[in-house]
Structure 1
Amino acid sequence: MSEPVPRASASEANGHDTQAREFSNYESLFLAETRVDLSWAEPAERSLVEAATEEPLVAFGVPSEFNARCVRRLCKVQMAFNDVAQANDWSEIYVLGMADAVTMVRSITFTRHDGRTELILYGTRKGSENLLSESTISSSRH
């Protein structure tokens, strides 16, 4: 597994209330997955790491930080970039490489206090797509 990336707080979402709420909701869902299904999580994490090292993605530069972690039904990929354009490229292209490991993917991008751009992707295990659906997220807000 990769080195852990420092956990961001919702307040680091630069005051973008909607994005901060989304981050908080996705993060809460991820943290609520207290059990790990190693038979799925370990191969999924390997697949996510491998996808990050493949061309043409590497041609867009590599993140200064990378961490992939999967639990029972969700994976979280957290990356930091020195350049916002790199983060945008990765948010569009890396998702395609994630398809071997996860199905539905949601992303959050924000600028950290140190000026780097953080990209966080949450993906579901096949059959668990409802975890990241809008209705599930909305009901978890109440």
Structure 2
Amino acid sequence: MTYRFRFPMLLGAALFAATLSLSGCSDSGTASTDATPASGEHADHDEHGDHDNAEHQHGEWWCGEHGVPEEECAQCDKSLVADFKAKGDWCEEHNRPDSQCFIHHPENFEKYASLYEAKFGERPEMPTE
């Protein structure tokens, strides 16, 4: 007889948990996965390339704004800056790793573009900033 009373309680608890988890995912109305390329311009940098807007999305594999994988993007993740500077890989003029400064070294974009192309089967656009 105890099983008869436990099942409705467990079912109710499971439905409640599912409802809570679904309602928490509706902040932007769009979901992204690692297999979805990130693209678009972000107007959330100051004149030094620093992010000043919390709306910039960092959950994608690719930083479409800066043309590199998000995990290597020192313009988005300031914790990477010290390592790039320690290696001597820094462009002071554009406040980014020199290896990712496509303004001075547009040829360096080829390395990153080939990573993107291997994953998504298409060529990314070169960032404009």
TM-score range, shorter chain: under 0.3
Q: Name the structure where strand makes up a greater proportion of residues.
A: 1
TM, length-normalised to structure 2: 0.26
The structure, 1 or 2, with the larger RCO (C-alpha pairs under 8 Å, 6+ apart) is: 1
Larger Rg: 2
